[in-house]
Chain A
């Protein structure tokens, strides 16, 4: 096992660089789900859009009642009445809906005038539509009471809110055996595929490029070790590195989301683990293929970034597949990560474990394995071709040449 021991020595020498890569990508994988995941609960809860009230009409019971009514159904975001502040908040979705109560609105409203509330929302946004509904419901209810002269404006606003307190009963049906798994864990598993691919490419190419140094290759080829044995020992090291990456990320996932997974169906969690194991094998095959073309440390970095970002962008890791156009979706079917994302989405949407429901998941995993086998075969063919080529003995650079 001399080659295997040498692989370990290479890893030990480059452990700092590998650890740096691991930490950078780990930070990304941990931060992304935290920033983008939705609330996780088993019971029905109303989505609360962020809204801002800019009151240019002064504080009146009518406007305060409106703010209170919306506050119970959304999250109030306080902003200054400055154009730049409102533009920034609207552009970066800090608030989903800005309500500008124009001067004289209260008087016009009670006198039956036509002064309207100015609103800012993303065109055709569902959240904008929802807040529109709420505002009109509040004001139409207030209109019913007509003038506040008789009962007083504060009593009117209180009566409107009381009228609008009637709520529909909502029942939540659970179809799966266990509790649903949080979207945070879904996003973590999506990001995991990116991390697995880039880390395994970087680690495996680091190991193999050392063996492809011309002087080392010439020396090894005249040694008593068979080329097959050398290749197998390198593959074994690659498998162990891949396993280490997979175990680390899986354990991290359980540490971060363990409490949310406790109530989930064990079979669902098992399927998620199986899917991540399949993508790890796929990443190893991609790394074997990519390593064949790597000539220097810089091209190693470039190749790892190009391949991992390309596969993951097209595979629906960073942006859900639902948002892809028809043409792009068709193209992404020819990338392996698409099948990983598809399997993952189907696993998270599982409601039963019948064959009909499970079939798309097995199909997606099988497709990944077919890609894996194809990439391994291609890597072997290219490796053989490169071994027989005279040029290969003078085209690999390592840090010793630099």
Chain B
């Protein structure tokens, strides 16, 4: 009996194009799109040489110290800040600024003035450089006025580097992986289609198959369990294919422990199937309405787990921790994140524990509703 129900459940999935589209093809398409557009997302905040102009007027030519300071941080070498362009007139500088070819330009009058057309980090860094020049110049002049020696002045001219960059994890932080983990959480919750199918196929008032099965000489609990196991198996297969595609084809890292990734997929599949079964069994809506509820709840959970806006899951944790801990999609995505970024496994197993607790609670609710159902008329 087990193999009969179990195998037919798997066959149903293979023959059901719509479920394959939603749980298989749609995530694969989204993963490919994510890969295509998020590949360079980490480069968005990276530092690169800034095109900055300087008006080559008499005051600039006479200010040898400023000229030397600017030239020392311009050019092609390491530590270079600016792609410096000497401009013959302010009119020329304005033209380049208007076209967006330079981030700003420096006009030396009594002191250097920065002229920009907007605000941004590049303009802020340029301003900070000129600030630094003015501050250093002021300090050196103060030292000389006080009759300071060469050693005091050299402290400004040869600045020391007091910082040393360290990493908090063996894997680098990247915005890209968060989208993929939230996508996998979405696929897990799409396992709800499997749970919904199980319930629909067992309830006499929802489908002809359910009516026939209700009369079958098999215990209800065994029928639900076998059918649901078939649903979990197909869901798990979907997840394995998608994880393999994301990991091996798209090259997105899941950290060193691949077997723990598989464990997370299994826990996520169980949760998804239980989630769909619970939604299906507790409401008396039509099948289409139940699907709409399932998709809506899934999308809200996935939105809060970072599927559409990177880092929103962190914001939710900071501002509404209860919502974050009760969000199944956030727990699944967080489990993947822990495997990637943490060197320890406490929070990972805490996530898995919560996922399993949610699954148990959802299955218990489903059992309460499915148990001893009788139909006066269908």
Contacts from A to B (Cβ < 8 Å): 17, 20, 24, 28, 31-32, 35-36, 39, 41, 44-47, 49, 73, 83-84, 86-94, 98, 100, 109, 116-130, 132-137, 139-141, 143-144, 163-164, 166-175, 180, 296-299, 302, 305-306, 309-310, 313-314, 318-320, 322-325, 328, 349, 351, 399, 402
Contacts and interface: CB of A to CB of B under 8 A. Distances in A.
A119 B156 contact: no
Contact of A140 (B21, B159, B175, B296): B159
Interface stretch (B240-248, B260-268, B309-317, B352-360): B309-317
Contacts of A130: 121, 124-125, 128
B155 A144 contact: yes
Nearest to B125: A130
Contacts of B347: 84
A168 B130 contact: yes
Contacts of A171: 113-116
A306 B169 contact: no
B101 interface: no
Contacts of B311: 92-94
Nearest to B164: A116
Interface string B163-181: 1111111001101001000
Contacts of B166: 100, 118-120
A122 B173 contact: yes
B342 to A, nearest CB: 7
Given A133-B128, A163-B138, A323-B44, A126 B111 contact: no
A325 B138 contact: no
A116 B165 CA distance: 10
Interface in B27-57: 29-30, 33-34, 36-48
B119 interface: yes
Contacts of A163: 135, 138-139
Contacts of A296: 18
Interface of B is mostly: helix
27 contacts: A28-B308, A35-B309, A41-B119, A44-B118, A47-B120, A47-B124, A73-B128, A87-B342, A91-B337, A92-B314, A118-B165, A120-B165, A126-B48, A133-B129, A143-B160, A169-B111, A169-B114, A296-B18, A298-B291, A306-B29, A313-B36, A314-B36, A318-B308, A323-B37, A323-B41, A324-B40, A399-B288
Contacts of A84: 342, 347
Contacts of A98: 168
A134 B135 CA distance: 12
Given A144-B143, A313-B37, 6 more contacts: A36-B309, A44-B123, A127-B121, A166-B138, A169-B111, A313-B33
Contact of B135 (A17, A88, A166): A166
Interface string B328-371: 00000000010001100001000000000000000000000000
B26 interface: yes
Contact of A136 (B30, B163, B168): B163
Contacts of B169: 87, 91
Contacts of B46: 122, 124-126
Contacts of A323: 37, 40-41, 43-44
Interface string B124-149: 11011111101100110001000000
B75 interface: no
Contacts of A87: 168-169, 341-342
Contacts of B132: 133, 137
A173 B314 contact: no
Contact of B119 (A47, A135, A299, A314): A47
Interface string B94-126: 100110100000000001111111111111110
| B38, B115, B119, B311 — most chain A CB neighbours (10 Å) | B119
A130 B113 CA distance: 20
A140 B167 contact: no
B135 A141 contact: yes
Interface residues of B, number: 89
A92 B313 contact: yes
B168 A86 contact: yes
Given A44-B116, A168-B130, A319 B37 contact: yes
A170 B121 contact: no
A57 to B, nearest CB: 13
A316 to B, nearest CB: 8
A124 B162 contact: no
Contacts of A86: 168
Given A163-B135, A172-B118, A46 B299 contact: no
A120 B111 contact: no
Nearest to B161: A136
B18 A180 contact: no
Contacts of B135: 137, 141, 163-164, 166
A174 B168 contact: no
A124 B47 contact: yes
A127 B47 CA distance: 8
Contacts of A24: 296, 299
Contact of B160 (A136, A168, A180): A136
Nearest to B115: A171
A88 B314 contact: yes
Contacts of B309: 31-32, 35-36
A232 B5 CA distance: 51
A107 to B, nearest CB: 14
Nearest to B36: A328
B109 to A, nearest CB: 9
| A91, A180, A306, A314 — most chain B CB neighbours (10 Å) | A91
B282 interface: no
A28 B156 CA distance: 52
Nearest to B42: A122
